[in-house]
Amino acid sequence: MTKLILTTLAAAGLAVPAFAATPLDFTFEGHRIVGTVDLKGSTEVIKGRDVTAGHDFALYVKDGYVTGDVGGQFVSYPAPKRKLKASTAG
């Protein structure tokens, strides 16, 4: 799984409700990603599977940093900056 996919996963956990896991199911750069995003205290927990590559993952986002495991390999990197794009009426 490329770092770009990992960055997308980390950015996917926007406004996660504290009471229930939010399901993920999307395709990015040809990889089908399924899983959940949950909030445990102040940590966003993103768990699932890259169905295309056959890798399970567990990512933990806290204090601007992502750590976790992807396909048995440890990962650690700064969380992506979240930017909202303004829509314009046309």
Amino acid letter at 65?
Answer: Y
Average pLDDT by stretches of 10, the chain with 90 residues: 55 53 89 93 94 95 94 92 53
Q: 25-63 burial, b for 16+ CB within 10 Å, e for fewer?
A: eeebeebebebbbbbeeeebbbbbbbeebebebebbbee
What pTM, to 2 d.p., does this model score? 0.70
Q: What is the pLDDT of residue 15?
A: 47
For residue 21, the model assigns a pLDDT of: 84
- Strands ordered across the beta sheet of 55-62: 22-28, 31-40, 43-50, 55-62, 65-70, 73-78
Q: Check residue 90 and give its pLDDT.
A: 47
- Residue-level pLDDT at 18: 52
pLDDT at 19: 59
Instruction: Write down the pLDDT at residue 13.
Output: 47
Domain ranges of the chain: 3-78
